[in-house]
Amino acid sequence: MFNNNVLFVLLMCCMFPSMNRDNQSTLQHVKDYKPPTDRHQIRILLHGPAGAGKSSFINSVQSVLQGRMYRQALVDHVSSSSFTRQFRTYKIPKEDGQSFYPFVFNDIMDLEIRAGVLVDDVKLALRGHMRDGYKFNPASKLSEDDPFYNKNPSTNDKVHILVLVTNTEFLMDAETVQKIQEIRREASDLGIPQVAILTKIDEACPEIKKDLKNVYKVQHLKRKMEKFSADVGIPMNCIFPVKNYHQEINIDSDVDTLILSALREIISYGDDFINLKKSNDRLIWFKVFNPFSEDVSSPVYWLVCLLVGLLAGLLVTWFFSSI
């Protein structure tokens, strides 16, 4: 028990290193982030049960980056059923108003027991086959002949990190857990990293509601995180407690700290996935176009030999001209 408690405190301290300081360093890190190439952007897919706070998290991220309250994603604080009915892509505008940050959020229908999003639809979204604006149908998945079906998804259309959003008070039923695990298996098969956002931490315990800095001190929250981790299989160091903005009218530095810490890790995981995918693609290209593995009658074989010969000729010419 002692070791678990120490691990929890260290984890929370590492996640929130500047609880009592300003957030400029982390904020600047997020603002300065650049993907491997200008053509890349990190696609972040949010999923989770109704009322978990997916849309509120998107709005909270935008509020932190804009430095003011910002509400782009529609939020419903009344209904207990899914408010999001369409597949939506949210771009985060930069302060200049002329460009966007190189990461986007996708919001989907909630994981309800009988009327929620189909697991097959989430799988299609992971692979980039779902276009923005698709209206979910709990009775049938997106078909290939639907105009919202993307037959040839680009790298940017595909998901780079999967984020499960839930709140501290949500009780996971067996069917929801099964859906989450099936979605995670698909993401794992695709190599997509997965993290979780745990919202409404201020409602989990009076000490945290009084002061968000107590987030790494409260054992009640630690036990909730451990239970959640055991249910869905996401490691503790990939679960990020946050408090979303929902009734505030001004920015709060402690709220910002939690959101920025989670966002920074999400971006890092997504960036790692893109870099790994690029490396694997280069390796596959070499295996496919390795001239020593090609039939001598193959045009590819002779094309590669020609290019190698030209390069060798240029190197020899340069060598003798430099003597």
Q: What is the pLDDT of residues 136-148, one digit of tens each?
A: 998 999 999 999 9
Whether the CB-CB separation of 127 and 158 falls below 8 Å is answered with yes
Is 148 in the same domain as 182? yes
Task: Say what percent of the chain tops pLDDT 90.
Answer: 50
Whether the CB-CB separation of 59 and 76 falls below 8 Å is answered with no
Is 310 in the same domain as 233? no
Is 58 in the same domain as 87? yes
Is 20 in the same domain as 144? yes
Whether the CB-CB separation of 235 and 278 falls below 8 Å is answered with no
How many Å apart are CA 108 and CA 97, to the nearest integer? Answer: 26
Is 173 in the same domain as 300? no
How many domains would you assign to the chain? 2
3-state DSSP assignment of residue 306: helix
CA angle 18, 46, 151 (to 5 degrees): 140
pLDDT tier at 242, thresholds 50, 70, 90: very high
pLDDT at 2: 47
Enumerate residues 6+ apart whose C-beta is below 8 A from 93.
Answer: 62, 66, 99, 100, 101
Cα 283 to Cα 42, 223, 256, 277, distances in angstroms: 22, 43, 40, 10
Predicted TM-score (pTM) of the model is 0.80
pLDDT tens column, 252-296: 999 999 999 999 999 999 999 999 877 665 544 455 555 555 455
How many Å apart are CA 216 and CA 115, to the nearest integer? Answer: 36
Host domain of residue 215: 2-284
DSSP symbols for 147-207: TTB-SS--TTTS-SEEEEEEETT----HHHHHHHHHHHHHHHHTT--EEEEEE-GGGT-HH
What are the φ and ψ backbone dihedral angles of 246, each rounded to 5 degrees? -145, -30
pLDDT tens column, 155-194: 999 999 999 999 988 777 888 899 999 999 999 999 999 9
Better pLDDT: 108 or 313:
108
Is 315 in the same domain as 242? no
> Can you read off the two tokens belonging to residue 118?
């189909």
pLDDT tens column, 287-303: 555 555 545 556 666 66
Is 299 in the same domain as 314? yes
How many Å apart are CA 222 and CA 134, to the nearest integer? Answer: 38
How many Å apart are CA 54 and CA 52, to the nearest integer? Answer: 6
pLDDT at 128: 98
Is 314 in the same domain as 225? no
How many Å apart are CA 321 and CA 323, to the nearest integer? Answer: 6
Is 159 in the same domain as 301? no
Better pLDDT: 217 or 270:
270
Question: Going by DSSP bridges, is the β-strand pair 239-241/100-107 parallel, antiparallel, or unpaired?
Answer: unpaired
> Can you read off the two tokens belonging to residue 255?
């709220």
pLDDT at 20: 43
Q: For residue 93, what is the domain's CATH number?
A: 3.40.50.300
Is 216 in the same domain as 314? no
Question: Tokens 């996971």 sit at which residue?
Answer: 172
Q: Which of 30-34, 46-50, 138-142, 193-197 has the highest mean pLDDT?
A: 193-197
Is 135 in the same domain as 254? yes
Is 138 in the same domain as 26? yes
Task: Say what percent of the chain tops pLDDT 70.
Answer: 79
Mean pLDDT of 45-73: 88
